[in-house]
Amino acid sequence: AFPKRVKVVEVGPRDGLQNEKNVVPTPVKINLINMLSETGLQVIEATSFVSPKWVPQMADHTEVMQGINKLPGISYPVLTPNLKGFQAAVAAGAKEVSIFGAASELFTKKNINCSIEESLERFDEVMRAARAASIPVRGYVSCVLGCPYEGKISAAKVAEVSKKMYSMGCYEISLGDTIGIGTPGSMKEMLTAVMKEVPVGALAVHCHDTYGQALANILVALQMGVSVVDASVAGLGGCPYAQGASGNVATEDLVYMLNGLGIHTGVDLQKLMDTGTFICNALNRRTNSKVSQASCRL
Amino acid sequence: MGTVPSALKHCLSYQHLLKEQLWIGEPAAPQAGQESQASGLPEYVKIVEVGPRDGLQNEKVIVPTGIKIELINRLSKTGLPAVEVTSFVSSKWVPQMADHKEVMRGIERHPGVRYPVLTPNLQGFHSAIAAGATEVSVFGAASESFSKMNINCSIEESIEKFEEVAKSARNMNIPVRGYVSCALGCPYEGNIVPAKVAEVSKRLYSMGCYEISLGDTIGVGTPGSMKRMLEAVMKEIPLSALAVHCHDTYGQALANILTAIQMGVAVVDSSVAGLGGCPYAKGATGNVATEDVIYMLNGLGINTGVNLYAVMEAGNFICTALNKKTNSKVAQASFNTGAIN
């Protein structure tokens, strides 16, 4: 049986734009987020408080955070990789933050130049400060179904890292198939292991569509009781590990499937498609959403 | 998330993982069957490759006979158990399939591979047999409007024509596969009632079709509507005689196929490189890509007998010939990580 409601976490403005070739001006980012706020989405990841040296696309994080309309009932989490980023985020008005762990040692080393253990220690600082400020923290675990450096990732390792992050105080753990290599088989195996350590109500899936498997993987997660799914409007955000390949699953295609399953999301698909059209025009690119591409309607 | 090198061609671990996932050059691992059994999924799924017919018929560019033959010959070597070759339809209606006789006569016939062809009526059937066909397909629809617009007659009239074909086929021991279009929605009528799909399927099965392929012609279906439709059809047709033919126009194909497989369906139609756009939604995609289906089935531990890498190569061949990008995400990703050159 499927959950009756699914919370869709929109990551387009952050994960999406961060992985797009073209950098988008601040007003366009703000407009994108404002349009998304009108679609019924309850969570919109706004930006990332990372040094612009590393992620130039997110250099305007403070302006974006301060410039967007913050509608009541909608959460606008931001990435904060360390205490410094956290403090800057709070100063800019952030009310929710996210931290990114990984189930792969090599990936962690290549990505943030430390071990998994060391990264969790850094996060602990953020957790303490967040707790003191009553700011909820969402935890991400990358490479849950495979790693571009290590290859196979054991489900037990994913469960271990997820458990640590949950115990540290993350209210939700988003399990990311970072290179989109997973299939319903590996998704099931991984979730079975993680669900032994973290309650399913605190789990989310963040599937990439690089191998076209995202919706099938999400379907399996839903069948196992997961009711929070990350997606990116228009499927923004390519895969940095496979040039020209796609990355994030498109929010429109996800909502289309959930609608067909009779699962409530609160999202207006037409408004979402309009938002996708807007950002694709601004980026001068075609949408990655198949629902958007198809023009016949039922 | 920090900087990441964009070129990982050197990354051996990723290539290893990919090769494992793609099961390049290797048949299914011995424990694969058990894995799928434990989860209630079929141990083996038969893939029916429709690229050369359904795919090429719906491509803008008309492909020369020699290229069609080469494509089919390559597909014959991948382990695919069935390759739909061409359509014995009047070239006035389907110019892309005008060379049906030459293609049928020109292809290599590999043992263990079936080569069905479309035969909309008795005339087409006779022509197909004369050209050497050993299996034929007939196309019904669950929608009156679609039937009228597509073949200019009602469902009942079309069934009568197919019965003629089925009768002749039976006399000659030629197996007939039946397709039901618009199983999850119609471009003209909109919603299609599952009971109607079941009724048309039953008519085709009763006249002697050994297998009924249920087609989501415009790709509007979702796991919800797929389940309801299959539940209705499974009341009339044994599971082992059912196949699903999903279009990926709304990105739902793999999720729909997974749903069908979870319900026990063990035959899936697909098209190499996702050839064949949707004639009802300009610029939109149509058939689901064979590569992406096999990737998913491999990951589920389900045996198909198909070498994914070989299919990707055939896909690469035809896309080059058509001067177009592949619609297969697996092919896109694999060729770009350097795991495949």
Residue B37's pLDDT is: 60
Q: Which two tokens stand for residue A32?
A: 């994108």
Q: Which residues of A touch B220 (CB under 8 A)?
A: 296, 298
The range of the structural domain enclosing residue A67 comes to: 7-295
Q: Measured between CA atoms, how close is A241 to chain B, in angstroms?
A: 6
Q: Which residue of A has its CA nearest to B301?
A: A185
The Cα-based distances of B299 to A215, B152, B220, B295 in angstroms read 14, 43, 25, 6
User: What region does A263 belong to: left with phi over 0, alpha with psi -120 to 50, or beta?
Assistant: beta
Q: What is the mean pLDDT of chain A?
A: 95
B193 lies within 8 A of chain A by CB: no
Higher confidence at residue A19 or residue B12? A19
Task: Look at residues B227, B296, B301 and name the one whose alpha carbon lies nearest to residue B265.
Answer: B227
Share of chain A above pLDDT 90, in %: 91
Tell me which residues of chain A, numbers 214 to 253, contact chain B at a CB-CB cutoff of 8 Å: 215-216, 218-220, 239-246, 250, 253
- Read off the CATH number of the domain in which A50 is found: 3.20.20.70
**B221 to A55: CB separation less than 8 angstroms, yes or no:** no
Backbone angles phi, psi at B97, to 5 degrees: -110, 20
Q: Give me the number of domains chain B comprises.
A: 1
Average pLDDT of span B166-172? 97
Answer yes or no: is pLDDT of B18 > 70: no
Answer yes or no: is pLDDT of B130 > 80: yes
End-to-end CA distance of chain A: 26
Predicted TM-score (pTM) of this structure: 0.93
Answer yes or no: is pLDDT of B53 > 90: yes
B182 lies within 8 A of chain A by CB: no
Residue B22's pLDDT is: 59
Q: Which two tokens stand for residue A234?
A: 């228009």
Residue B221's pLDDT is: 98
| Contact in structure between B242 and B231 (CB atoms under 8 Å) | no
The answer to the question of residue B211 being in a domain is yes
Residue A185 amino acid letter: G
Answer yes or no: is pLDDT of B183 > 90: yes
B81 lies within 8 A of chain A by CB: no
B7 lies within 8 A of chain A by CB: yes
Residue B11's pLDDT is: 54
B282 falls in which pLDDT band (50, 70, 90)?
A: confident
The answer to the question of residue B11 being in a domain is no
The answer to the question of residue B201 being in a domain is yes
Task: Look at residues B212, B297, B215 and name the one whose alpha carbon lies nearest to residue B254.
Answer: B297
Q: Give me the number of domains chain A comprises.
A: 1
Residue A112's pLDDT is: 85
ipTM value: 0.94
Answer yes or no: is pLDDT of A56 > 60: yes
Mean pLDDT comparison of B36-40, B92-96, B282-286, B297-301, highest-scoring range = B297-301
The answer to the question of residue B339 being in a domain is no
The answer to the question of residue A2 being in a domain is no
The answer to the question of residue A1 being in a domain is no
State the Cα–Cα distance between residues B54 and B287, nearest whole angstrom.
8
Q: Kindly report, residue by residue over B61-81, the tens digit of the pLDDT.
A: 889 999 999 999 999 999 999
Residue A96 amino acid letter: E
State the Cα–Cα distance between residues B42 and A154, nearest whole angstrom.
25
Average pLDDT of span A127-146? 97
Q: Which of A48, A112, A294 sits opposite B284 (nearest CB)?
A: A294
The answer to the question of residue A155 being in a domain is yes
The range of the structural domain enclosing residue B164 comes to: 41-334
Q: Which two tokens stand for residue A36?
A: 């998304």
State the Cα–Cα distance between residues B43 and B39, nearest whole angstrom.
10
Q: Kindly report, residue by residue over A66-107, the tens digit of the pLDDT.
A: 999 999 999 999 999 999 999 999 999 999 999 999 999 999
Residue B27's pLDDT is: 40
- Read off the CATH number of the domain in which B260 is found: 3.20.20.70
The answer to the question of residue B324 being in a domain is yes
Residue A16's pLDDT is: 95
Three-state SS string over chain A comes to CCCCECEEEECHHHHHHHCCCCCCCHHHHHHHHHHHHCCCCCEECCEECCCCCCCHHHCCHHHHHHHCCCCCCCECCEECCCHHHHHHHHHCCCCCEEEEEECCHHHHHHHHCCCHHHHHHHHHHHHHHHHHCCCCEEEEEECCCCECCCECCCHHHHHHHHHHHHHHCCCEEEEEECCCCCCHHHHHHHHHHHCCCCCHHHEEEEEECCCCCHHHHHHHHHHCCCCEEEEEHHHCCCCCCCCCCCCECEHHHHHHHHHHCCCECCCCHHHHHHHHHHHHHHHCCCCCCHHHHCCCCC
Q: Kindly report, residue by residue over A158-178, the tens digit of the pLDDT.
A: 999 999 999 999 999 999 999
Task: Look at residues A265, A268, A266, A229 and name the one whose alpha carbon lies nearest to residue A250.
Answer: A229
Answer yes or no: is pLDDT of B56 > 50: yes
Q: What is the mean pLDDT of chain B?
A: 90
3-state DSSP assignment of residue B215: strand
Q: Which two tokens stand for residue B175?
A: 């197996």
The answer to the question of residue B3 being in a domain is no
**B258 to A220: CB separation less than 8 angstroms, yes or no:** yes
Q: Which of B225, B281, B332 sits opposite A260 (nearest CB)?
A: B225
The answer to the question of residue B18 being in a domain is no
Q: How many Å is the Cα radius of gyration of chain A? A: 18
The answer to the question of residue A23 being in a domain is yes
